Amino acid sequence: MGLVHTLFRVLDGAGDVAAEAARHILVRAEQAAVARGRFRIVLAGGTTPLAVYRQLAAASADWSAWEVYFGDERCLPPDHGERNSLAATRALLGRVPIPQANVFPMAAELGPEAAAVAYTPLVEAALPFDLVLLGMGEDGHTASLFPGHVIPQGALVIPVHDAPKPPPDRVSLTPRALTATREVLILVTGVGKREALAAWRKGADLPVARIARAGRTIVLLDRASGGDLDPDGLPPDPPRSDDSGK
């Protein structure tokens, strides 16, 4: 198999990353709507993407073509302030006319196991996604895939317990699901991410690195998170092995 490449694009600040991410997503959404009549996007949790969601909410798009999934969710009540789905609703989904039937929140309030079982058929029916949006934690986690956690082979959605980033109970798409997509867009901003990005740069087998090397990935990062590193110095992706988890 040929080398699959991760494109690292360094932008000045977090605002530039958000603007470029929003622009890129809108281009992909238009392309997908024209080509296939729909745009299947997996939204990222955490705080980094919120500026992107707010910019998308101010844009015009063929919203009726959008189908919205989530990469992970915290096992909290649906109206809890720390829910990824609520944050996305406040920043984007509640502000644009995406048909409600096309938004697929994870029923994480049921608990990790039940939520994973309930979400699996939805993901199965949606693959391949058009774009998977992800952030990266300070330990190199992405979605709710944390270093050192065992990921069952073959699963698309898994329960997560003992997450080092609260809350401990979560539900997450697996690398197999997150890489079954036309493109992955990873956003990394802020000085807190420098260490993880440098480790990634040195070839550490972090959850985020495993996702990135499995397919077409664009990483948008700012200077504070390590963009002053020579992006050309980042290791090329190793050839994709058979156990890429697909």
Q: Which residues bind ligand 6PG (CB under 6 A)?
A: 44-48, 72, 74, 84, 135-137, 141-144, 165
Judge whether 181 and 128 are in contact, CB under 8 Å: yes
Residue 241 is classified by DSSP as P
At its nearest, how many Å lie between ligand 6PG and the CB of residue 144? 6
Q: How far is the CB of 134 from ligand 6PG (least distance, A)?
A: 6
**46 or 215: CB nearest ligand 6PG:** 46
Min separation Cβ 49 and ligand 6PG, Å: 7
| Residue with Cβ nearer ligand 6PG (6 or 144) | 144
Return the number of the residue (38 or 165) whose C-beta is nearest ligand 6PG. Answer: 165
| Structure tokens, 230 | 């020579």
Element (H, E) at 170: strand 170-173
Task: Supply the minimum distance, in Å, between the C-beta of residue 37 and ligand 6PG.
Answer: 29
Nearer to ligand 6PG, 61 or 157 (CB): 157
Q: Write down the least CB distance from residue 217 to ligand 6PG, Å.
A: 15
Determine how many CB atoms are found less than 10 A away from the CB of residue 154: 9
Closest CA to 184 of 13, 24, 2, 14: 24
Exposure b/e, 229-242, CB count within 10 A at least 16 = b: beeeebeebeebee
Distance, CA of 111 to CA of 186 (rounded, Å): 27
